[in-house]
């Protein structure tokens, strides 16, 4: 009369499993995370254009036309001194986290506050800033506790900080110091000695503050001959910040230099008001429930001296978040630190973002054929969900694959900011699928306090489908202006194109040691970048004016290098590429770092031998990578012509390691070092 109990149990289990599958696992059972209309119109567009040579003005929908642009996250915040005061209320036991030897070391908010204020008092006494004379201190330190202490101390002492990444070549760091003429240099004994021996005593500021010990008597003797030397710890001891420095919103808080312009150094002055406006734009771009709070952990991977990273450090300081520090260009080191500290938000520069994608590419390539096929099926389903506005949730592939990759970097990451200009759409796709985080592209220049646009929190598809860097922040507005010299016009169809112009509270044109400013607060600043305004209100950045190649090979006469590099690195076979050429050259040069596992798999299929460190000795590798370049450009509407060029017009040089500052192929902010690439290709 009754079925076999075992059969009945199996039948019930099958029904339950089927129900669970269709309820949780099927993408069709989910609705978009936000109404599609909100993604179709991500910016408020002005109804009137000022002239036919300009596009309409694009603003954040949170600050539409007729309303004031945001200038501060809260009315009580007038300077970054207020940011520190508010953030310190959290009193976290792990305000700063660092790693050494696989162990985690923490410093509490109370200890950081006491040390930073003591150091601020010591700096004020050392530089006598109470006289009202403008003072500046170059911070030439590795990212870590000392850098954060020096940065906060400069803010509280009213001393303008000039951050310089420790990874910066000594010649570049010396050129910045020589141009900036700071009153003090905060650095390590080793870096101070390198500066002195490489550039001579003339470049050294009057005061050198050494972080760490100065045990070597020879080093101490040499340094004391060229400057007044103080120890970091000595400045802290006995110093008391008994009176706050008089700091105004218009006062400079830090200066952003770029070492990629050695013959034309320009230090862009960021005021307290600029930094607060950037903070306001950043925080207002997130839904209220997603804004970082004091229980969050920010993992600082890029050098702390990089402008974009400073914005996120300011955000973490404001919200009282823990700041975990792991300055690296190695994705494995990033993952190891993330596993320890379990970050909730981070910013990845282009080098680390590409290396992270490469790391997981290589891991997945090692799957057996059947498992690889199963993974790729799940990956395609996840991408399909993203394109329909759904962040993949719990499903079979999430449980068996994707969750593992999330746990590798701590399992709690929900916000991953990346450089929108240099990060290919394919990398955005990979990071979103594998890590389940909101991967948000940003874009800015030093003149916009290093941030002017950001991707929408719920926009999972547009930066993949049509590469863009998001919509304007609430603190600035954007338009494009005719750039006839490169064939771009606000009248172009289907979308206006031209030079990107920005106006807002985060915009500055003040240059350090230059008394004239190019624009005032209510005027437009023409950036050095070309862009295209897309129908959904987002901005696509074509490239930098400094890197445009004038070439008769291209039908339009101009090659937008960054755009072409994004196209080429969309290939699974290519990790890094730098495109260079002489003006009006009849050939194009490319320095390429291929993905090792892709070459290994190709060698296995073709039964060819190869060693990555001797890649120059294997002609088949050049042929294979050239084919992959051609495949990538064929899929691009803008660069299909490149696939038709004779092979001798495309010079390719393969290198055996990722682009870094050490091999001269990347700058400290992760952008390509084109001088290094030209040197490799003998283009001088």
CATH number of the CATH domain containing 200: 3.40.50.980
pLDDT tens-digit map of 284-343:
999 999 999 999 999 999 999 999 999 999 999 999 999 999 999 889 999 999 999 999
Average pLDDT, the chain: 88
Give the phi and the psi of residue 157 in degrees, each rounded to 5. -90, -5
Q: How far apart are CA 100 and CA 255, in angstroms?
A: 30
What pLDDT is attached to residue 58? 96
pTM to 2 decimal places? 0.91
Two tokens, residue 438: 């909101």
Domain count, the chain: 2
Band the pLDDT of 519: cuts 50, 70, 90.
Answer: low
* Contact predicate 490/53, CB 8 Å: yes
**Mean pLDDT within 400-423:** 90
**Mean pLDDT within 260-271:** 82
pLDDT at 131 over 50: no
Q: How far apart are CA 384 and CA 43, in angstroms?
A: 25
* Contact predicate 548/558, CB 8 Å: yes
**Mean pLDDT within 368-385:** 88
Q: What is the C-alpha R_g of the chain?
A: 26
Say which residue the tokens 């690439």 belong to. Answer: 677
Q: Which residues fall within 8 angstroms of residue 147, CB to CB, at 6 or more apart?
A: 139, 141, 163, 304, 305
The share of the chain scoring above pLDDT 70, in percent, equals 93
DSSP string, 93-113: TTSEEEEETTEEEEE-HHHHH
Considering the domain boundaries, does residue 132 fall inside one?
yes
Band the pLDDT of 9: cuts 50, 70, 90.
Answer: confident
Could you give the dihedral angle defined by the CA atoms of residues 235, 241, 246 and 252, in that order, rounded to the nearest 10 degrees?
Answer: 40
Q: Among candidates 420, 498, 426, which has minimal Cα distance to 452?
A: 420
**Mean pLDDT within 632-655:** 91
pLDDT at 248 over 60: yes
Considering the domain boundaries, does residue 459 fall inside one?
no
Q: Among candidates 620, 623, 604, which has minimal Cα distance to 369?
A: 604
Considering the domain boundaries, does residue 526 fall inside one?
no
pLDDT at 91 over 90: no
Considering the domain boundaries, does residue 598 fall inside one?
yes
Considering the domain boundaries, does residue 74 fall inside one?
no
Considering the domain boundaries, does residue 216 fall inside one?
yes
Q: How far apart are CA 441 and CA 468, in angstroms?
A: 8
- Of 301, 327, 353, the residue at which a domain comes to its end is 327
Band the pLDDT of 130: cuts 50, 70, 90.
Answer: very low
pLDDT at 446 over 50: yes
Domain extent for 629? 548-684
Q: How far apart are CA 392 and CA 405, in angstroms?
A: 14
- Of 294, 327, 360, the residue at which a domain comes to its end is 327
Q: How far apart are CA 598 and CA 353, in angstroms?
A: 18
**Mean pLDDT within 202-223:** 80
* Contact predicate 656/618, CB 8 Å: no
What pLDDT is attached to residue 523? 87
The share of the chain scoring above pLDDT 90, in percent, equals 56
* Contact predicate 271/250, CB 8 Å: yes
pLDDT at 605 over 60: yes
Considering the domain boundaries, does residue 360 fall inside one?
no
Considering the domain boundaries, does residue 633 fall inside one?
yes
Q: How far apart are CA 329 and CA 404, in angstroms?
A: 22
Two tokens, residue 451: 């941030």
What pLDDT is attached to residue 22? 52
Q: How far apart are CA 532 and CA 331, in angstroms?
A: 32
**What CATH number does the domain containing 646 carry?**
3.30.300.30
pLDDT at 684 over 70: no
What pLDDT is attached to residue 521? 55
Q: What is the 3-state secondary structure (H, E, C) of 248-282?
A: CCCCEEEEECCCCCCCCCCCEEEEHHHHHHHHHHH
The percent helix, strand, coil of the chain (3-state, each to 5) is: 40, 20, 40
Q: Among candidates 303, 227, 209, which has minimal Cα distance to 259?
A: 303
**Mean pLDDT within 652-668:** 92
Q: Which residues fall within 8 angstroms of residue 301, CB to CB, at 6 or more apart?
A: 326, 327, 328, 334, 346, 347, 348, 349, 352
* Contact predicate 666/677, CB 8 Å: no
Q: How far apart are CA 469 and CA 425, in angstroms?
A: 10
pLDDT at 241 over 60: yes
CB burial of 226-259 (b: ≥16 within 10 Å; e: otherwise) equals bbebbbbeebbeebebeeebebebebbbbbbbbb
- Of 283, 300, 327, the residue at which a domain comes to its end is 327
3-state secondary structure of 527: strand
What pLDDT is attached to residue 154? 95
Band the pLDDT of 529: cuts 50, 70, 90.
Answer: very high
What pLDDT is attached to residue 17? 67
């Amino acid at each position: 009369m009754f079925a076999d109990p075992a059969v009945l149990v199996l039948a019930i289990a099958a029904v339950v499993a089927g129900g669970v599958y269709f309820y949780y696992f099927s993408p069709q059972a989910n609705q978009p995370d936000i109404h599609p209309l909100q993604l179709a119109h991500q910016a408020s567009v002005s109804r009137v254009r000022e002239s036919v040579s300009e596009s309409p003005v694009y603003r954040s929908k949170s600050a539409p036309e007729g309303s004031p642009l945001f200038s501060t996250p809260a009315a009580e915040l007038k300077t970054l001194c207020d940011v520190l005061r508010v953030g310190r209320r959290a009193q976290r036991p792990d305000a700063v986290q660092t790693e050494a030897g696989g162990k985690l070391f923490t410093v509490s908010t109370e200890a950081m506050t006491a040390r930073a204020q003591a150091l601020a008092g010591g700096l004020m006494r050392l530089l006598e800033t109470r006289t009202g004379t403008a003072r500046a201190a170059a911070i030439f330190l590795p990212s870590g506790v000392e850098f954060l202490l020096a940065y906060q101390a400069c803010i509280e002492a009213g001393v303008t900080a000039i951050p310089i990444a420790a990874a910066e070549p000594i010649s570049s760091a010396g050129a910045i110091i020589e141009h900036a003429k700071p009153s003090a240099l905060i650095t390590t004994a080793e870096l101070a000695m390198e500066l002195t021996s490489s550039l001579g005593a003339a470049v050294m500021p009057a005061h050198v503050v050494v972080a760490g010990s100065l045990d070597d008597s020879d080093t101490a003797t040499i340094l004391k001959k060229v400057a007044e030397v103080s120890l970091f710890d000595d400045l802290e001891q006995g110093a008391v910040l008994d009176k706050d420095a008089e700091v105004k919103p218009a006062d400079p808080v830090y200066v952003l230099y770029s070492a990629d312009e050695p013959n034309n150094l320009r230090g862009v002055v960021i005021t307290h008001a600029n930094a607060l406006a950037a903070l306001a734009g950043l925080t207002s771009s997130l839904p209220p429930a997603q804004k970082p709070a004091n229980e969050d952990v920010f993992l600082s991977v890029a050098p702390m001296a990089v402008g974009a990273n400073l914005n996120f450090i300011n955000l973490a300081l404001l919200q009282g978040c823990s700041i975990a520090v792991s300055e690296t260009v190695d994705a494995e080191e990033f993952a190891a630190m993330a596993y320890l500290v379990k970050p909730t938000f981070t910013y990845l520069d282009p080098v680390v973002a590409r290396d992270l994608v490469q790391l997981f590419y290589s891991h997945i390539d090692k799957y057996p054929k059947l498992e690889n096929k199963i993974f790729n099926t799940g990956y395609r389903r996840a991408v399909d969900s993203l394109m329909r506005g759904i962040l993949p949730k719990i499903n079979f592939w999430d449980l068996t694959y994707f969750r593992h990759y999330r746990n590798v970097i701590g399992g709690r990451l929900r916000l991953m900011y990346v450089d929108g200009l240099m990060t290919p759409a394919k990398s955005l796709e990979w990071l979103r699928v594998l890590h389940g985080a909101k991967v948000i592209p940003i874009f800015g220049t030093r003149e916009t306090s290093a941030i002017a646009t950001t991707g929408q929190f719920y926009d999972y598809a547009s930066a993949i489908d049509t590469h863009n860097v998001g919509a304007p922040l609430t603190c600035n507005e954007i338009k494009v202006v005719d750039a006839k010299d490169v064939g771009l016009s606000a009248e172009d169809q289907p979308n206006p194109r031209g030079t990107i112009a920005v106006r807002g509270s985060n915009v500055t044109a003040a240059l350090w040691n230059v008394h004239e400013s190019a624009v005032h607060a209510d005027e437009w600043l023409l950036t050095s970048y070309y862009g295209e305004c897309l129908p959904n209100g987002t901005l696509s950045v074509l490239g930098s004016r400094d890197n445009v190649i004038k070439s008769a090979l291209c039908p339009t006469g101009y090659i937008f290098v960054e755009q072409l590099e994004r196209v080429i690195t969309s290939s699974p076979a290519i990790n890094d590429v730098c495109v260079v050429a002489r003006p009006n050259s009849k050939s194009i040069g490319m320095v390429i770092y291929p993905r090792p596992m892709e070459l290994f798999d190709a060698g296995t299929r073709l039964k060819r031998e190869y060693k990555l460190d001797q890649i120059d000795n294997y002609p088949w590798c050049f042929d294979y990578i050239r084919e992959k370049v051609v495949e990538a450009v064929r899929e691009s509407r803008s660069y299909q012509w490149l696939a038709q060029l004779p092979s001798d017009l495309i010079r390719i040089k393969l290198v055996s390691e990722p682009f870094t500052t050490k091999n001269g192929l990347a700058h400290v902010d992760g952008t390509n070092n084109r001088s290094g690439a030209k040197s490799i290709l003998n283009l001088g």
